[in-house]
A and B are shown apart, each in its own frame.
With several copies, the nearest count.
Chain A
Amino acid sequence: MTVSELELDLEVFSGPFDLLLTLVLREEVDLLEVELADVVVGYLDFLAARGDLDLEVATEFLVLIAALLELKSRLMLPREEDGLPELEPGEAAEELLARMLEARRYRHAAQHLARLLAGEDGHRFRAAPLPRWLRRATAGDVVAAYDPTQLGAAIGGLLRAPAPLDLRHLATPRVTVAERLSHLRALLRHGATSFDDAVRGADRVTVAVTLFALLELYKQGEATWSQDEPFGEIRVAPLGRGAAANATAHGNGGGR
């Protein structure tokens, strides 16, 4: 399975900017109220229906969600923490607007192409091999048609090993769910902890991936979590074998 299959399954968007544009343009939705958690939960349901968790795909999905989180956080957070240049609200809105409009333009172009293709439905071209009398090999006619220097030039090009390309954060996941799962498990072996502790010093993508790993632990029955109030501390406690003593010692949170 790939994330593109998921896109098909949800049938609402084919990219974060589309999703965002759709949500923002919907009169009743304020950008700040876009429930990214719902998207994540929808994805988890999708995975549950399939019966297994493909960590590679989960990571890919997270990249998508992380892009949304970044856009949203630009509007929510007063301060950037990971060295990205801070944008004024006006600038942030302009940048977002420009990217959304660009995505929108190609979405419409895509629809135009899909219509063209549908209109061509029913036109078939002939795909028959040439008759034998046209296939006769004429070895004598062969004259040099290509310049060998293009082969040397191609090899030269392939020897080039460039500096790594800056693809922005969303092209390559820097952290995997598997890594964050083992990080959380290691922490939980020592008893209850908090989400802030689990992501101390981490960048935003890592935070998002850690949250996803936590959802997975919860689903697997390995941990439970609670939060007393919005934006309050998220307590995380181990569940299952060997967890009872620790859970008692730390109190298991009152918010459940």
Chain B
Amino acid sequence: MSGSGLSPLARTLEALLFLSPEPVSAEDLAQAADAWPDDVEQAVGELREAYAPGARGLLLREVAGGYTLATAPEAEPAARRLLAKPRTPPLTPAQAETLAIIAYLQPVSRPEITRIRGVSADSASATLLERGLVEEAGRSQFGAVLYRTTPLFLKLFGLGSLDDLPDPGQWDPTPEEEADLRERLLRAGEQRAGEPVAPASS
């Protein structure tokens, strides 16, 4: 390739291939870029040259479905170090609260979690599901999805079993209360909300 960069059409095709997770056919490229097939072919040629093996960290690959960008094999070890390890970023407060409710009350439904927290736990529980810390455990009698923790949860928290969860008594503001933990959490949640919580959709 010339050092001065790519033609406008080649730049557009590069952006399209970058964005698309799937290979894109020459026809689709032409249609999206509003260009003639001949021009697209020529622009693809420019890209092929720019992404010649050894030139960059990415390669232009021609597969059955069309064209796609992929990383060069040399970068694999670094990519593994960056991305293949289990992701354990610190839990956000919302995630920690949601995970604690699930850990101590399991199985527990999403509407119950919402009532205890006073705010929706949808995005927090989605993240916990995605990271494999919790999983679905059937449905409540009202049809709401129930959650429980996973074996990965125990491993990541260094717990042998759920019995090893710390006794929340030492953080309990009113440890003298006798009632069941679930009942007390629901009551406190409703008091914090200050008004009856609308029934959560499940």
Contact = CB atoms under 8 A, between A and B. Distances in A.
Touching chains A and B, CB distance < 8 Å:
yes
Interface of A: 2-4, 7-8, 14-18, 24-25, 30-32, 60, 63-64, 67, 69, 72-73, 75-79, 81, 89-90, 92-94, 96-97, 99-114, 116-131, 133-136, 138, 141-165, 167-168, 170-172, 195-196, 199, 202, 204, 207, 211, 231, 234
Nearest to A203: B200
B94 interface: yes
A156 B96 CA distance: 12
A210 to B, nearest CB: 9
B85 A141 contact: yes
Q: What is the size category of the interface that chain B forms with chain A? A: 35 or more
A105 B97 CA distance: 10
A204 B172 CA distance: 32
Contacts of B29: none
Contacts of B76: 121-122, 124, 133
A108 B79 contact: no
B200 to A, nearest CB: 5
Q: Which 4 A-B pairs have the closest CB atoms?
A: A156-B171, A122-B73, A89-B189, A144-B158
Interface in B100-129: 100-101, 103-104, 111, 114-120, 123-124
B189 A117 contact: no
Contact of B178 (A81, A101, A123): A101
Interface of B: 15, 18-21, 59, 61, 68-76, 79-80, 83-88, 90-94, 96-97, 99-101, 103-104, 111, 114-120, 123-124, 139, 141-144, 152, 155-159, 164-174, 178, 181-182, 184-202
Among A73, A90, A112, A147: residue with most chain B CB under 10 A: A112
A18 B198 CA distance: 25
Given A108-B171, A170-B118, A154 B97 contact: yes
B76 to A, nearest CB: 4
Contact of A75 (B72, B116, B168, B192): B192
B172 A171 contact: no
Contacts of B141: 162
Given A92-B185, A109-B165, 7 more contacts: A76-B192, A77-B197, A97-B185, A160-B188, A162-B143, A167-B111, A172-B194
Given A17-B117, A152-B165, A165 B68 contact: no
B171 A105 contact: yes
Contacts, number: 346
7 contacts: A32-B188, A97-B178, A121-B88, A142-B86, A155-B100, A160-B143, A196-B200
A96 B185 contact: yes
Contacts of B72: 122-123
Given A103-B118, A106-B100, A211 B201 contact: yes
A160 B127 CA distance: 25
B125 to A, nearest CB: 11
B118 A99 contact: yes
A49 to B, nearest CB: 20
A2 B99 CA distance: 19
A128 B21 contact: yes
A162 B94 contact: no
Contact of B185 (A3, A93, A204): A93
Contacts of B100: 106-107, 109-110, 112-113, 150-152, 154-155, 158
A14 B101 CA distance: 13
Contacts of A134: 19, 79-80, 83-84
Contacts of B92: 4, 7-8, 14
